[in-house]
Structure 1
Amino acid sequence: MIPISRCSSNDHLVIIGNGMASHRLLEAVVKLPHRPKQITVIGAEASPAYNRILLSPLLADEMPPSALALRDMQWYAEQGITLHLNERVLKIGREKQCVVTSCRTLAYDRLVIATGSRPTLPEVPGIGLKGVYGFRTLQDADTLAELALRGGQCVVVGGGLLGLEAAEGLRKRGASVSVLQRSERLMNRQLDSMAAELLETTLAKRGLNILTHARISHFEDDGAGSLAAVVLEDGQRMPAQSVIVATGVTPNAELGHQAGLTTQRAIMVDDTLTTSDPLIHALGECCQFEQHTYGLVEPIWRQVDVLANTLCGDGSARYSEAPTATKLKISGVALYTFGPTEATPEHEVLHYRDPESGDYRRLLLRNGQLEGAVLYGDTHSGPWYFAQALAKTDLSACRQALLFGEADANALLFDNPPTPSSTLEAA
């Protein structure tokens, strides 16, 4: 990639997209001394940027829509930012350095593409029927809440983070909900079999109908273009008035591809978040760094720091991959996990379970260093475990106390042995 200089005060910075990544970039850029005076943001949704992470609690009626707002329109005006909402960019003209929207043509000196992603839809017959929905926007949350209030049968396709959060939100709104998980267990990318079993038991007791090893044959048409049922490959027919698809996301990379930027699964960027065009950058779920694409906010926040430095700083910041931790946003369910899901022969496995309290912990160590953890129930030591994993701390001195959490482990690390209240098991 070609080295570029930072923006000058005379440059026009145009940002396509007004989601969380775009907004966090704005928050960072306006604080820098070399920010461009002219900044234009184009958002396809009708409202200013909001906290998409809170869509699940919103759907569950645990908070009002106002709690999701990040900034109001006045903030953009006070920062000298022009915000165009409910407007889509149709194409990028690289030769003339302009973007063409549904309403106008804008010249840019530097361009950021932050168009996010959309739900990945399974390639099964009937996917286009009325009654099949995704769950990515405020409008989606409003639509699903209305569906739940009407009652009836809802089927959520996907037993990962978003699918389970959507299913619980629909249940709390009054819907009868089934969850279809293609693999053998819920959250199979984050949980081991025991934690997944505990989670399934908890959710089933709340009233969710969970089916694993569930492969969809087709969505059945009611004869008028609307959904009537979900039919599985084993022949099981599940009547449904609505289906919510939560099987992953697809990067919105079409603008970059149409503009001739290098793309694979998403828009390719280097470690400064610069695309194959030195005047164009990509950020968040629409970009790809090396083989990685994104669906969690933690790496995107690190991308924002790098891109803000690229645009308005000294250009020295570089993006690199780092481990991330996962928490489930379902009220009353405490779950914290990071690192490998499955143990290898090189791992030492420590695990603990208290059936009465519902607590479960499993730690994976290699050569005394923590590489992965699954915590269910009592998760208060999760961030400490994660910090030790990132720091590659040698935990050999406190191995026998690791499962009891931060306080006991730290005591041993500092030569003050604790009195364990239970026993741990190594496998």
Structure 2
Amino acid sequence: MRKLKLVMVGNGMAGVRTLEELRKIAPEMYDITVFGAEPHPNYNRILLSPVLAGEMTIQDIILNDLQWYADNGITLHLGSTVTGIDRNTRSVTATGKGGETISVGYDRLLIATGSTPFILPVPGNDLPGVISYRDIQDTDEMIDAAAKYRHAVVIGAGLLGLEAANGLALRGMDVTVVHISDWIMERQLDRNAGKMLQAALEKKGMKFKLSAHTAELVKGESGRVCAVRFKDGSTLPADLVCMAAGIRPNVALAEQAGIHCNRGIVVNDTLQTYDPRIYAVGECANHRGTAYGLVAPLFEQAKVCANHLAMYGIGRYQGSVTSTKLKVTGIDVFSAGDFSGSDGTEDIVLHDPGAGIYKRLVLKNDKLVGAVLYGDTKDGAWYFQLLKDGQDIHDIRDNLVFGNSHLGDVGHKGNSLAAGMPDSAEVCGCNGVCKGTIVKAIKEQGLFTLEDVRKHTKASSSCGSCTGLVEQILASTIGGAYQPADSTNKPVCGCTDHSHGEVRRAIREHKLLSVAEAQQFLDWKTPNGCASCRPALNYYCISSWPHEAMDDPQSRFINERAHANIQKDGSYSVVPRMWGGLTTPAELRAIADAAEKYKVPTVKVTGGQRIDLLGVKKEDLPAMWADFAKAGMVSGHAYGKSLRTVKTCVGSEHCRFGTQRSMDLGVKLEKMLFGMWSPHKFKLAVSGCPRNCAESGIKDIGVIGVDSGYELYVGGNGGIKTEVAQFFCKVADDDEVLEYGGAFIQLYREEGFYLERTCHYLERVGLEHVKKAVLEDAEQRKALYERLLFALQNYKDPWAEIVEDQAGGIHKRQFEIIKV
């Protein structure tokens, strides 16, 4: 039997989703040809913003790579523009990427040309430096411009405009967002929520010019745009102007072919145009007077369209009730229905500016008809379901604004949102995945983990905001068989439902650069966190984004803030650093002088081969630090979750049994690692021979010299429960000790949970995992080592600030720290 020929014009998310659905139900019915004007395979357009911000790469957002097309027998023409549709001969003509003419016949044609950006019809809109923000090429142009120019103006304060502004700001540009309305995102948020979002974005450095009407774009001497002039006569400097003022259905090709269009390609409930052989889906289609721009409706269209292309003859697309759940530069917002209210409606409002929370529920005749949420959006899916189903909320009205978790069994059986959701409820907005799709995949594919669900359904694989809901669905579907990502997948503390792993992943994937930003992004339950979560968040930020994240001293324990260790009587101990356990008469003299000058009651040699001055008064600390700093001695981080000491024996420098220069290597290690923060305290030791006088067998990294080089041991500690280090590898020389040891340390820094010692980290991930990353993959090992060195480069110890105060007074910052 001859296969029918299906040609698709457009290679975007809606069109390719249609092909995915079609291949599921009729894999052998069609020979499929796809024309894509861009040179890239199908990608997630929603995630262009993280690419612009430098948080993701183009490869990260590819949905279907070239191999997928090949595996499904799809002929793909990338970089090819369709120039005509001949409905009489049922053929499509295109210009290929090499300029050649391509002609393909069809039995069915699917138009999925998407939309085009709206360019303001003002003088200068065609100048160099004026671009839209719609595809990968636009993104690349903005990245290039950000590297060369200073001032950017983004016209349009919808989601796309704000994300463009955020990305350009993160790349160092001075960005102003221009908007014609009185508040930002007016199509998704009411005035109060819009103003709250604006205030939060202004704190991040964004500037706004609202109620502004652009008159012209001014040409500079170089021929490039140099300014934006407004109708009131004011101007803004602009080396780059990004038009993000809306989109229009791309119907030019359809109109040329005589297909009926009216603000989109007009389609019926089966997604057919007036020509029954031609279908249209996505942003280019107009169904019952509406052209949809959100992912979920487009994917609903794709499923119905695929059903009719497969000639099943069932299924109708009857339109979509849409909701918007977005994360705008790390801030959650949600809206659905008539959130601004109209005649006959009434509002329930919760407005807490201090906590950054705003909820407005719009009711009519005991039904929820609209909702807008800012800051706390976890109940958005539940509100949306109430709205879609038209449920009577009379009995739960008093508690409605507080969300689903406060209702118990009233109007919603069980405490799990997932259990009460219908199969049609959307779970993942980024990929248009509903609950029924997830449940079906779990049951049919035998899925047990979050990663399995992501792989088979794409739910939770993009922005991650639906992760908790996906996990609820897993748990409610398979009960006790549900397998969390790891055995430690419990909340960091009572301030959040997120585990350490989820928090680390969010900070890394979404480039969260401060404790406050992380708390806001992750829906922290308490406004300021607690003593358990704040140090963890601070560590995850500074270790994930060295030299970029904001280190918050108030999120550290006092011994890290003060560079001294508080004792049980309220006094402090100070341990000047002696590199590798070595010292000099001058250093010893400085220690003795300090002990006498400040009347230190106890001087003790520590187990890490250092000298501890115990009983120092709080008010004497800054002056003592200054004395040691002038003597060239530092404290480093001998008291925090950081490098403690590198213990050494005398090695072959002096010992008749020594095989390697342990003191020399110990100094190298300690100086390389100085300034290193880690999930927990980190200790090393270097023994010059197998006699192991430096006790290397119970250190986080133990180095033991042998005739042919060194043996490395990892994961030991001498804490409450002594853990013997495990043999890791054998290396030839000092440089390999630094590289292999440094790679292990960086892997632990990147994967370890806060307050997790190396022994517990190895117990959780397995030694084989670490060996595979460090020993078996030379490229990954070098990359880990380089990331460690990058994190440690240009480190300046706060003690050095004291020396800068030549007048001999107490340095202001150090004094503020010690006051705590």
TM range (shorter): over 0.9
Instruction: Tell me the distance in 2 between the aligned counterparts of 1:376 and 1:329.
Output: 10
Partner of 2:392: 394
Q: Is 1:228 equivalent to 2:221 in the alignment?
A: no
Equivalent pair of 1:34/1:312 in contact (CA under 8 Å): no
Q: Deviations over 1:249-307 (max 9, x none)?
A: 12111111011111122211111111111111111111111211122111111110110
C-alpha deviation, 1:413, in angstroms: 2.8
Partner of 2:288: 290
Instruction: Tell me the distance in 1 between the aligned counterparts of 2:408 and 2:366.
Output: 15
Q: Deviations over 1:89-147 (max 9, x none)?
A: 11001111100111311011110011111110111111111111011111111111222
Partner of 1:337: 335
Letter in 2 for 1:233: K
Q: Return closer, same or farther for 1:389/1:106 CA change in 2, 3 Å cut-off.
A: same
Equivalent pair of 1:117/1:249 in contact (CA under 8 Å): yes
Aligned with 2:82 (options 59, 66, 89):
89
Equivalent pair of 2:124/2:216 in contact (CA under 8 Å): yes
Instruction: Tell me the distance in 2 between the aligned counterparts of 1:314 and 1:220.
Output: 57
Partner of 1:20: 13
Q: Is 1:33 equivalent to 2:6 in the alignment?
A: no
Partner of 1:70: 63
Q: Is 1:350 equivalent to 2:343 in the alignment?
A: no
Instruction: Tell me the distance in 1 between the aligned counterparts of 2:339 and 2:381.
Output: 18
Letter in 1 for 2:266: M
C-alpha deviation, 1:35, in angstroms: 4.5
Q: Secondary structure at the match of 1:328?
A: strand
Larger radius of gyration: 2
Aligned with 1:183 (options 135, 156, 181):
181
Letter in 1 for 2:317: Y
Instruction: Tell me the distance in 1 between the aligned counterparts of 2:381 and 2:411.
Output: 17
C-alpha deviation, 1:165, in angstroms: 1.1
Letter in 2 for 1:277: D
* Structure with greater proportional helix content: 2
Instruction: Tell me the distance in 2 between the aligned counterparts of 1:415 and 1:327.
Output: 24
Q: Is 1:59 equivalent to 2:52 in the alignment?
A: yes
Q: Secondary structure at the match of 1:182?
A: coil
Aligned with 2:41 (options 39, 44, 48):
48
Structure 1 range deviating more: 227-236 or 66-75: 66-75
Q: Deviations over 1:7-56 (max 9, x none)?
A: x8621000011111111111111111364241111111101110001011
Partner of 1:420: none
Instruction: Tell me the distance in 1 between the aligned counterparts of 2:413 and 2:264.
Output: 50
Cα RMSD (Å): 1.7
5+ unaligned residues in a row in structure 1: which ranges?
Answer: 1-7, 417-427
Superposition misfits of 4+ residues, deviation over 2 angstroms: 33-37, 327-332, 409-416
Q: TM-score, normalised by structure 1?
A: 0.93
Instruction: Tell me the distance in 2 between the aligned counterparts of 1:415 and 1:62.
Output: 40
Aligned with 2:4 (options 4, 11, 15):
11
Q: Return closer, same or farther for 1:94/1:381 CA change in 2, 3 Å cut-off.
A: same
Equivalent pair of 1:220/1:230 in contact (CA under 8 Å): yes
Letter in 1 for 2:53: A
Aligned with 1:141 (options 139, 142, 148):
139
Instruction: Tell me the distance in 1 between the aligned counterparts of 2:216 and 2:155.
Output: 12
* Structure with greater proportional strand content: 1
Q: Secondary structure at the match of 1:121?
A: coil
C-alpha deviation, 1:381, in angstroms: 0.6
Instruction: Tell me the distance in 1 between the aligned counterparts of 2:202 and 2:264.
Output: 37
Q: Is 1:372 equivalent to 2:370 in the alignment?
A: yes
Instruction: Tell me the distance in 2 between the aligned counterparts of 1:72 and 1:332.
Output: 28
Instruction: Tell me the distance in 1 between the aligned counterparts of 2:413 and 2:384.
Output: 22
Instruction: Tell me the distance in 2 between the aligned counterparts of 1:266 and 1:223.
Output: 40
Partner of 1:409: 407
Letter in 2 for 1:388: L
C-alpha deviation, 1:223, in angstroms: 4.4
Q: How many residue pairs end up in the alignment?
A: 410
Equivalent pair of 2:86/2:257 in contact (CA under 8 Å): yes
Instruction: Tell me the distance in 1 between the aligned counterparts of 2:249 and 2:162.
Output: 21
Q: Return closer, same or farther for 1:331/1:221 CA change in 2, 3 Å cut-off.
A: closer
Equivalent pair of 2:288/2:319 in contact (CA under 8 Å): no
Instruction: Tell me the distance in 1 between the aligned counterparts of 2:75 and 2:197.
Output: 46
Partner of 1:423: none
Q: Secondary structure at the match of 2:259?
A: coil
Letter in 2 for 1:123: P
Q: Secondary structure at the match of 1:169?
A: helix
Instruction: Tell me the distance in 2 between the aligned counterparts of 1:162 and 1:211.
Output: 16
Q: Secondary structure at the match of 2:286?
A: strand
Instruction: Tell me the distance in 1 between the aligned counterparts of 2:188 and 2:286.
Output: 22
C-alpha deviation, 1:415, in angstroms: 10
Instruction: Tell me the distance in 2 between the aligned counterparts of 1:34 and 1:62.
Output: 37
Aligned with 1:104 (options 102, 115, 118):
102
Q: Secondary structure at the match of 2:407?
A: helix
Q: Return closer, same or farther for 1:414/1:337 CA change in 2, 3 Å cut-off.
A: closer
Aligned with 1:122 (options 120, 123, 132):
120
Aligned with 1:305 (options 288, 303, 306):
303
Letter in 2 for 1:60: A
Instruction: Tell me the distance in 1 between the aligned counterparts of 2:317 and 2:2.
Output: 25
Q: Is 1:198 equivalent to 2:191 in the alignment?
A: no
